Structure 1
Amino acid sequence: MPKAAMDAKISYDPANVVTSEVVVIEASPALVWEVLTDLDRYGDWNPFCVKATSTLEMGAPVYMSLVNYPNPGALLQGCEYICELQPERRLAWEARWHENWPYAARRDQFIDPMANGHCRYWSTDAFLGENGVHVMRFCGPWVKRAFDDTAHALKARAEALHAERIGR
């Protein structure tokens, strides 16, 4: 496929980005990173991504079981690929464009250190390319809810682990 045609299929439009609420987590970026990368325990705390497996190496697949918010009780199965790893700062994976799945997207999870040793967390999902507007229209509202739920659950999990470790 010519580069210009591929670029159109994966182009970025800020109108097609879902952004979660920003939560302040009273735990260190290292602890939040630990929770985010402990995929085996996602089912213990994550209300949206209830199962995930990956080696968490660049380019590695991330196999996920996601709660289907529009269809309660059902799970969606997905596979995306690690595209950025910045320990204690950013974890990202992407759904690559393919003729059989022309819905490219990129999910970024951000950890922003704060002066007091705590951090802020939020995530985004950019629905890419010429189909991004359609994905945003049909999935944007429930993805926003799922990401907000995840942000609050991550806060609760990390703060509980922090309290446990300092003996509160």
Structure 2
Amino acid sequence: MTILLAVALVAALLAAAFLFAPRQEVVTKVEIDATPAQVWALLGDPGSYRDWNPFILSMEGELAEGATLVNRMRPETGSEMTFRPVVLKVAPARELRWLGRLFLPRIFDGEHYFILDGCQGGTRLVHGENFHGVLLWFIDVKRFAGDFDRMNAALKARVEAGPIGLGKGR
């Protein structure tokens, strides 16, 4: 009976941990001197990532809702890893979202997003990720802000350099 009670208590604690798993968000922004369509020409071209992106080293797959991508990334403070997010939203020249997950829901989920807003002849890019899961008690996701900033700066530099080289990653 004591073992059953201990098992039930552990199961209840695990269920509560998953139910009340923490959430955190990392948000970065950059102003790009180009239209949203010009920014999207690069951001929306998975094959080009290997040519300009210091964070997401490569992206394979189709940017279509429900599709699975194969992204290889290298955080500045960590090792290279491959993840397979599912594309949630593709609105050309406006928004891109995908959901990456470690094994099962609420262990370590990340909804990564890019929002492009036209402003004063240019584009304001909001680039972030909503994290949710029990591993957030042990991982400081704020460390990814620097990686997002590096990616934003590389995207800005590449787009502002002009159309030369856009789409050559395919």
TM-score (norm. length: structure 1): 0.78
120, 133, 137: which one aligns with 2:136 = 133
The alignment partner of 1:151 has SS state of helix
- How many Å separate the matches in 2 of 1:78 and 1:47? 16
The alignment partner of 1:155 has SS state of helix
- 1:114 correspondence with 2:129: no
Matched residue, 1:36: 43
Change (3 A) 1:62 1:139: farther
Flag the structure with larger Rg. 2
Q: What are the residue-to-residue correspondences of 1:8-157 with 2, within 5 Å? A: 13=23, 16-20=24-28, 22-71=29-78, 74-96=79-101, 98-99=103-104, 102-116=107-121, 118-129=122-133, 131=134, 133-134=136-137, 138-157=139-158
The alignment partner of 2:107 has SS state of coil
TM-score (norm. length: structure 2): 0.77
Q: How many residues align?
A: 149
8 Å contact 1:54–1:62 — kept in the other structure?
Answer: yes
- How many Å separate the matches in 2 of 1:101 and 1:11? 7
Extract structure 1 runs of 4+ deviating beyond 6 A.
Answer: none
| Equivalent residue letter for 1:133 | L
- How many Å separate the matches in 2 of 1:54 and 1:84? 14
Where does structure 2 lack aligned partners over 5 or more consecutive residues?
A: 1-14, 166-170
Where does structure 1 lack aligned partners over 5 or more consecutive residues?
A: none
Q: Percent identity?
A: 26
- How many Å separate the matches in 2 of 1:10 and 1:33? 36
